[in-house]
Amino acid sequence: MKRLLSQYLFLILGGAIILLGMVFAGINFLNHNPVNDRVMISAPGTMEVFLKAGQHHLFYEFDSKQLNLGVLQLKKEEKFNNVSSLVAVKIVNVSDNKEIVLAKDSSMNFTFNDTRGESLYSFEIVEEGDYRVAISPTIELPKAITFSIVGDLTNSLLGVFKHAGIVVSMSIPFLLIGWYMYAGEARRKKLLTR
């Protein structure tokens, strides 16, 4: 039993490091997920929000219900088409009244429970602080529209992959030692059976 344990100890240790590291990375992402920390704004409306330095996205949120019946999938979405032409968005630094430049960006989306978000704009915050976000419709809308400001999802996801890479690189020496010990034991058994 002792020999068997020493033969597989490093392989088990390397596997445990990978497993625990991946679980920790997943929990860390779920706890610090930018979608959970999003700031929701109803349009028409103005709101002061605190924004950290870095890349941010303005998302248009709408109801998206999906029913999966095996072979048949039903999807119901209540949304406006081409929302960026229906509203005017202005983000201003409260301390110096400097307007933030918005770049059209539809590259990202998210689904959170029955809410779906599609990115409309991305913008860079250089100095963290309080910002005034004003969203006003350009035409009369039949109902209020919900928008949200979300921190950088891309860097958050890259952080998870970076963490996974570090964990795997930490486990490689243990896996190599375990493989070497396993191969040596297998050779020894092969010589004994001859």
What predicted TM-score, i.e. pTM, was given to this entire model?
Answer: 0.66
Q: 68 and 128 in one domain?
A: yes
Give the pLDDT score at 35. Answer: 67
Q: 66 and 48 in one domain?
A: yes
Q: 147 and 164 in one domain?
A: no
Q: 186 and 133 in one domain?
A: no
Q: 115 and 93 in one domain?
A: yes
Give the pLDDT score at 5. Answer: 65
Per-residue pLDDT of the chain (194 residues; tens, 9 = 90+): 566 666 677 878 888 888 888 888 778 777 766 666 778 888 788 889 888 888 888 888 887 777 777 777 776 667 777 777 788 889 998 888 888 888 888 888 877 777 888 888 889 988 888 999 998 888 877 777 888 888 877 777 777 778 778 888 888 888 888 888 878 777 877 777 76
Q: Provide long-range contacts, Cβ within 8 A and 24+ apart, for 119-122.
A: 119/57, 119/58, 119/59, 119/60, 120/58, 120/59, 120/60, 120/83, 120/84, 120/89, 120/147, 121/57, 121/58, 121/84, 121/89, 122/55, 122/56, 122/57, 122/58
Q: Which residue has the tokens 């100095």?
A: 127
pLDDT digits (tens, 9 = 90+) for 140-193: 777 778 888 888 777 777 777 787 788 888 888 888 888 888 787 778 777 777
The domain of 44 spans 37-151
Task: Work out how many domains the chain is built from and give that number.
Answer: 2
Cβ atoms of 100 and 25 closer than 8 Å: no
Q: 86 and 181 in one domain?
A: no
Q: 46 and 15 in one domain?
A: no
Q: 143 and 59 in one domain?
A: yes
Give the pLDDT score at 2. Answer: 65
177, two tokens: 């030692």
Q: 110 and 169 in one domain?
A: no
